Amino acid sequence: NLSSKSELAFLKELEIGPDNLGSFDGSWGGSGPVIESISPGNGEVIARVHSSTPDEVGNAITKAKESWPQWASMPAPARGEIVRQIGNELRKNLKPLGKLVSLEMGKILAEGIGEVQEYIDVCDYAVGLSRTLPGSLLPSERKDHVLLEKWNPLGVVGVISAFNFPVAVYGWNSAIAMVCGDTLVWKGAPTTPLVSIATTKIVAKVLERNGIPGSVASLITGGTDVGELLVNDNRVPLISFTGSTKAGKNVALKVQERFGKSLLELGGNNALIVTKDADLDMAIRAAVFSCVGTAGQRCTTTRRLILQTDIRTEFLKRLKMAFAGILGRIGDPIEESTLYGPLHSPAAVEAYKLTVEKAVKSGGCIEFGGKVIDRPGFYVEPTIISGLPASSDVVRHETFAPIVYILETNSLEEAIAVNNDVEQGLSSSLFTNNIGELFKWIGPLGSDCGIINVNIGTSGAEIGGAFGGEKATGGGRESGSDAWKHYARRATITINYGNELPLAQGIKFE
């Protein structure tokens, strides 16, 4: 019972109660199966959420499509003004919404708040974009002709997001899609429904205040079956999917079957390389956050540490000391002093246990951690495993937990080969002060990932760049740079302003 728990009083500010409706198409509904929202910090039920029925999913798409002409006909800067107000409304709710992320997802408070800040940042970015969305004017080979390239909105964009960034991923997609002129139907993870509802309420308030239908930013709630209805609907020209490679592949194939577009942000298997020319103090500090931040549940978490032989022993010794310091800071994620929180679910704890067992069976040596922590909630020890070849199954597989494998190499070339020899291609880092190594790393024969860092860890991207990865990470790009192009259709327009009809390539048809 929420009202009896004074520490959960902040939920009232977000209009979250013990019972919540999870379908929004301008008005709230939700008559599908009830989902319990569970706090990973103690395993207790926080609230119940009424998920969406197939009819409610259909209605959300219908309403988002109906509100599209009004939204798409507004000048882009006017849409930007709405997104600016959404950013401001989020600023007002920064702490309560950040706290809810921490409570329901299980990441520490600073990271929960950081995620809402990321949505605010991308709103600011999108406001600027709304006044600079470019097109081009290209020279024509024909007299008195001109070519224009214009970007028009797509229509309804379906956003399916993962549990680990329950606010920011929607933020990246929605702020940019909205200024591009698209309307949205969002399905968040089935285990973070309260965050989706609270975020949708914040956005809806701004839309309604401006006389814009709330269905511009609709919400559906549920698991794979609800997601599939969105994926298979012909009225949704773009599905932006964030989640595992396995699910993303299914989604991509389904969307392709109906010639829709998909934007895929899938799993990673990120490596951090430390060469003998690196600043070890910096490398260790960066590695600690990249390995254990969010309890290893970031898509960009460092899963492989590739150490040059000369520094391996020293680095590992100091890394273990730093991990030991983290053990003293385990706690309820919502407490400000906590640095290391729980895994998200019992299933995640199970996957962690199985992976550790498999690693040991394959000959791995547990250098640190390796056990489930005996306390309420879903806590496991941050874990370092050495002694496995880079080619072993567990090392090549993304386990969404705080497990890092120590790999050893003798040269940068060898380290790059190991970095690239996995099916995923999301994030990668090199620590070096050798300028030659730096340029090899970022060059054509260097890292094959979408994110290539130097002297910082693999996680913690900024919104100004395009975020995403290659290969089995899906190839999508979100947030900054020209990622907005995913949310628009390109039209090549040829205009004849003369009074003759010359054909291209000088063809005569007379």
Q: How far is the CB of 474 from ligand NAD (least distance, A)?
A: 7
Which residues on neighbouring strands pair with residue 366, listed in sequence order? 385
The C-alpha atoms of residue 170 and residue 241 are separated, in whole angstroms, by: 10
Q: Which of 365, 353, 362, 429 is nearest to 394 (CA)?
A: 362
Q: Is 449 a catalytic residue?
A: no
Instruction: Report the C-alpha gap between 225 and 498 in whole angstroms.
Output: 55
For residue 389, give the 3-state DSSP assignment.
Answer: coil
Candidate list 98, 153, 243, 402; residue touching ligand NAD; CB under 6 A: 243
The rounded Cα 483 to chain-centroid distance in angstroms is 14
Among 31, 42, 62, 250, binds ligand NAD (CB under 6 A): 250
Interatomic CA distance for residues 34 and 427, integer angstroms: 37
Distances (CA, A) of 43 to 7, 37, 48, 248, 388: 16, 10, 14, 28, 34
Give the H/E segment covering residue 479: strand 478-479
Q: Are 130 and 479 in contact (CB under 8 A)?
A: no
Is residue 449 close enough to count as binding ligand NAD by CB under 6 A?
no
Binding-residue pattern over the window 214 to 233 for ligand NAD, x denoting contact by CB under 6 A: ---------xx--xx--x--
Mask: binding to ligand NAD, 188-217, rule CB under 6 A, as x and -?
A: -xx---------------------------
Catalytic residue among 299, 367, 398, 449: 299
Residues 6+ apart with CB under 8 A from 42: 332, 376, 377
Does residue 244 interact with ligand NAD by CB under 6 A? yes
Which single residue brings its beta carbon nearest to ligand NAD? 227
352 part of the interface to ligand NAD, by CB under 6 A: no
164 binds ligand NAD (CB under 6 A): yes
Tokens representing residue 485 in the block: 């192009």
- Cβ proximity to ligand NAD, 57 vs 231, nearer residue: 231
| Residue 437 annotated among the catalytic residues of the structure | no
Site string for ligand NAD, 172-191 (x = CB under 6 A): ---------------x-xx-
Whose structure tokens read 């929420």? 2
How many residues touch ligand NAD under the rule CB under 6 A: the total is: 29
Of 118, 265, 367, 478, which one is the catalytic site residue? 265
| Cα-only R_g, the chain | 24
Nearer to ligand NAD, 187 or 312 (CB): 187
Q: How far is the CB of 82 from ligand NAD (least distance, A)?
A: 25
C-beta separation of 343 from 401 below 8 A: yes
Of the residues 82, 418, 426, 463, which one makes contact with ligand NAD according to CB under 6 A: 426
- Report CA-CA distances (Å) from 298 to 54, 239, 289, 302: 31, 21, 11, 9
Cβ-in-10-Å burial (0-12, 13-18, 19+) of 327 comes to middle
Query: Would you count residue 355 as binding ligand NAD (CB under 6 A)?
Result: no
Residue 53 or 432: which CB sits closer to ligand NAD? Answer: 53
**162 touching ligand NAD, by CB under 6 A:** yes
Q: Which of 51, 52, 200, 242 binds ligand NAD (CB under 6 A)?
A: 242
Burial of 11 (0-12, 13-18, 19+ CB in 10 A): buried
Residue 120, CA distances (Å) to 77, 93, 125, 160, 240 in order? 17, 11, 9, 20, 20
The single residue among 2, 146, 148, 247 that binds ligand NAD, judged by CB under 6 A, is 247
| DSSP codes of every residue in 318-371 | HHHHHHHHHHTTB--TTSTT-SB---S-HHHHHHHHHHHHHHHHTT-EEEE--S
CB-nearer residue toward ligand NAD: 18 or 475: 475
Q: Which is nearer to ligand NAD, 112 or 243 (CB)?
A: 243
Instruction: Report H helices in 158-276.
Output: 168-180, 193-209, 224-231, 245-257
Considering beta carbons, is residue 151 or 289 the nearer one to ligand NAD?
Answer: 289
The nearest distance, CB 267 to ligand NAD, in angstroms, is: 3
Taking the least distance from each CB to ligand NAD, the nearer of 96 and 342 is: 342
Shortest separation between residue 484's beta carbon and ligand NAD, angstroms: 17
Which CB atom, from 179 or from 263, has the smaller least distance to ligand NAD?
A: 263
Residue 419 is classified by DSSP as H
Binding to ligand NAD by residue 332, rule CB under 6 A? no
Q: Binder to ligand NAD among 89, 332, 398, 437 (CB under 6 A)? A: 398
Annotated catalytic residues are 265, 299
Contacting positions for ligand NAD (CB under 6 A):
160-165, 187, 189-190, 223-224, 227-228, 231, 242-244, 247, 250-251, 265-268, 299, 398, 400, 426, 473
